[in-house]
Amino acid sequence: MRIDGMQKVAQLYSSNNAAKTEKKKVEAQKDKVQISQAGRDYQIAKKAVAESPDVREDLVARIKSRVQDGTYEVSGNAFAEKVIERYNRMMR
């Protein structure tokens, strides 16, 4: 058994351990968030929709009074056109 060979191996391992333990200084970078113009426009539109009422009371009151009076009439063709129009919008 050769003792000098063992010492060289021990030196080799000890020099690698020193290199591994050295820590490099890395400055932390701060994250940035940039919202596109389309994103800002979307936020504005979403806020406007959230603030608007779900039911347009003026239209509901007008139609309700016409129904109660018996003066509200809807033609079958107009009704069918609206049904088809909504169906086509849903299928897009």
The answer to whether residue 76 sits within a structural domain is yes
The answer to whether residue 33 sits within a structural domain is no
The answer to whether residue 82 sits within a structural domain is yes
The answer to whether residue 74 sits within a structural domain is yes
- What DSSP designation does 70 have? T
65: pLDDT strictly greater than 70: yes
66: Cα separation from own chain's centroid: 43
Angle at 11 between CA 6 and CA 12, to 5 degrees: 95
Residue type, 45: A
The answer to whether residue 68 sits within a structural domain is yes
Please give the residue range of the domain that contains residue 59.
55-92
Question: Which pLDDT band holds residue 76 (cuts at 50, 70, 90)?
Answer: very high
The answer to whether residue 40 sits within a structural domain is no
Residue 63: which of 75, 74, 52 has the closest Cα? 74
- What is the total count of domains within the chain? 1
The answer to whether residue 45 sits within a structural domain is no
pLDDT score of 5: 63
- Structure confidence by residue, pLDDT tens digits, 12-33: 666 555 455 566 677 788 888 8
Q: Which two tokens stand for residue 79?
A: 């009704």
The answer to whether residue 61 sits within a structural domain is yes
pLDDT score of 16: 53
